[in-house]
Amino acid sequence: MGLFIVFEGVEGSGKSTQSRELYRRLQKAELEAVLIREPGGTPTAEYVRDWLIGGHDISPLTELLLFSATRASLVESVIRPALSKGEIVVCDRYIYSTLAYQGYGRGMDMGAIDNLNGIATGGLEPELVVLLDLPPDIGFQRKRGGDPNDRFEREDLAFHQRVHEGYNALAANDPKRWLVLDASLPMESLASAIWDRVLEIQAER
Ligand code: TYD
């Protein structure tokens, strides 16, 4: 069985940079690895992604179901097959984004989200969740105000603060699985801390 690693955090927290860096290190160490992002990673999910991020007239329920649908497609066609070949899967966002954004951010029912997450993934959870913790106002400054066509970046600061608090609550509930790092640290120290934890998990298996 492979190893499943997920990156989470608010906009501008550096998840994409750190997930790419981890993937680079895994390749350098000659470990078979796959790098994916949510929503996306399959042709269907990439198609829906554009609409989910930039579309109009999407209600919170439609949004929740679309994230679940793209996740189901990614788990079935990419994540499970890679894990069963013994590969390491690095995924930029996963079920915790739905709990943080649709649950804490939009205020949708957490129990319903938990159920949908379970259905979409067949209960597949990662061995490690790296949370790049950053106050959302700093994240926005990094993104220089954000993309006006991105439905999430257009949300107000209060929304992103709820998302941020949500992430911290999720991490506090499951401290063994979550590695919480201060995203304002230099890129290289973050990458080393993540790498050390991955090696530690590999050594324990
Ligand atoms: P993306 O451009 O990939 O943002 P980032 O670089 O910050 O990851 O857009 C993904 C957006 O979708 C992001 O704003 C968070 C949101 N999202 C949810 O609201 N729920 C989810 O379940 C997922 C996977 C993403």
pLDDT of residue 145: 66
> From the CA of 192, how far away is ligand 1's center (Å)?
25
In testing the pocket of ligand 1, which one of 59, 66, 93, 113 has its CB within 8 Å of the most ligand atoms?
Answer: 93
pLDDT of residue 148: 85
> From the CA of 26, how far away is ligand 1's center (Å)?
24
User: Considering its fold, how many domains does the chain have in total?
Assistant: 1
The model's pTM is 0.97
Q: CATH number of the domain that 15 lies in?
A: 3.40.50.300
> From the CA of 195, how far away is ligand 1's center (Å)?
24
Which ligand 1 atom sits nearest the alpha carbon of residue 101?
19
Domain, as residue range, for 163: 3-204
Written as one string, the DSSP assignment of 161-205 is: HHHHHHHHHHHHH-TTTEEEEETTS-HHHHHHHHHHHHHHHHHH-
In angstroms, the CA 21 to CA 16 distance is 9
The pLDDT profile of the chain, 205 residues, written as one tens digit per residue, is 799 999 999 999 999 999 999 999 999 999 999 999 999 999 999 999 999 999 888 999 999 999 999 999 999 999 999 999 999 999 999 999 999 999 999 999 999 999 999 999 999 999 999 999 999 999 988 887 678 889 999 999 999 999 999 999 999 999 999 999 999 999 999 999 999 999 999 999 8
> From the CA of 52, how far away is ligand 1's center (Å)?
9
Which ligand 1 atom sits nearest the alpha carbon of residue 37?
3
